[in-house]
Amino acid sequence: MALYANKHPARERAIDKSFEALRDLQAEDPKPQFSFLGEETVYGQLSLRDLRDWEWAARLGDAGVQRLEFEPSVTRDEYEEFLEQVLARLTVAAIDSAEMRTTRPGSIKFGAIGVRGETKQLNDVVEAKVPVATIAFSLQEEAEAVQWMHGQVGERGTLPLAEAEAVVRSLSLAMHGESRMLVPLLELREFDEYTTTHSLNVSVLTMALAERLGLGARDVRTFGVAGLLHDLGKVRVPIEILNKPGKLTDEEREVMQRHPADGARIIITSDRELDLAAAVAYEHHIMIDGGGYPRCHFHRACHPASILVHVCDVYDALRTHRPYRDAWEAARVLGYISERAGTEFDPDIARKFVEMMTELEGRVVRTTQRADTA
Ligand SMILES: [Fe+2]
Ligand SMILES: [Fe+2]
């Protein structure tokens, strides 16, 4: 549900399937009750051993859903409404409170244990065992969604915005799944996947930096979408040029340097209110001293989002192994960014970025897109 927009067939199918499972259960137990206590899932009075270490028990508990009861009359619509509310609670850091609906479906009760006069004993259990969500993410689905999105842009020239936004929501969820923020970054496995992994990483880094600068949740997500789409114009650059092991010829470089303008054009003609993402796609290679590309006749300041994305873009590019150069160590990249603060990068933003990456070291989680055993 975090991945697909409302009414998307994949989302509808998932809800149908889940609701069917509930109806099957209700055929035997019309009023099923569940409790999620830390890593423990309790059905009625029964602790479900098979669901030990089921990460969702802890995540539901963290989201304030420690107790869940269904009435026999529950409908598919109410069930969907319930799932949406749980999703909103899980993504609460990413979703403005205004978007959270307060009415609850009448035939589904859920909430924290103890709040509605539950026994003291259960309350103690919860307090003694503060659930810590472990988020075992692979970003596999997000990577697939981005790959699909690039395919759609390449083949049809239109950008599926709803999916882009869903990916950003999902990344934000992965960043905030634990009590402290995480920076989940993907490790490149195959050169072909570069544009996918790079887009996801730039989106995550941009959101982390925007959040650190004190931007509100909505702006952070808007910046995240801009980060995700910054290199969209590369769908028009032939793969031989993108992955060329040596230096580009003048002609090849010219093709490569069209990606900011191409990306901006695709974005602006695709969908509603994407001016910011289009501006970022256009400006993300422009340096603050006016260098870089595309060349402007009159130098003017870039949008702050472009300035953020520029730093994150260079960081991720240099940290990644490419056909024409090895990956750099984090310290070397941060040194490079500091050195070029004031010429290539905005000095303030560069400093904040270096500070953030230094502080967050240890919370940067690198993950490969696929299991090695696959
Ligand atoms: Fe780029
Ligand atoms: Fe880039």
Instruction: Determine the pLDDT at residue 287.
Output: 94
How many angstroms does the Cα of residue 259 sit away from the middle of ligand 1? 7
Q: Mean pLDDT across the stretch 201-214?
A: 95
Quick one: pLDDT band at residue 39, thresholds 50, 70, 90?
confident
Q: Mean pLDDT across the stretch 235-264?
A: 93
Instruction: Determine the pLDDT at residue 120.
Output: 34
How many angstroms does the Cα of residue 295 sit away from the middle of ligand 2? 17
Closest-lying ligand to the alpha carbon of 309? 2
Instruction: Determine the pLDDT at residue 194.
Output: 85
Query: Cα dist. 300→283, 297, 320 in Å?
Result: 11, 9, 31
Quick one: pLDDT band at residue 230, thresholds 50, 70, 90?
very high
Closest-lying ligand to the alpha carbon of 311? 2
Lowest-pLDDT range of 140-144, 186-190, 339-343, 348-352: 186-190
How many angstroms does the Cα of residue 195 sit away from the middle of ligand 2? 8
Q: Mean pLDDT across the stretch 135-146?
A: 73
How many angstroms does the Cα of residue 359 sit away from the middle of ligand 1? 26
How many angstroms does the Cα of residue 261 sit away from the middle of ligand 2? 13
Instruction: Determine the pLDDT at residue 253.
Output: 96
pLDDT at 362 over 80: no
Instruction: Determine the pLDDT at residue 179.
Output: 65
Instruction: Determine the pLDDT at residue 264.
Output: 93
Most confident of 65-79, 98-112, 332-346: 332-346
Closest-lying ligand to the alpha carbon of 317? 2
Closest-lying ligand to the alpha carbon of 199? 2
How many angstroms does the Cα of residue 231 sit away from the middle of ligand 2? 5
Q: pLDDT tens across 172-185, in order?
A: 888 876 667 778 88
Closest-lying ligand to the alpha carbon of 316? 2
Q: Mean pLDDT across the stretch 242-246?
A: 89
What is d(CA 260, CA 248) in angstroms, rounded to the nearest whole number? 17
Average pLDDT, the chain: 81
How many angstroms does the Cα of residue 256 sit away from the middle of ligand 2? 12
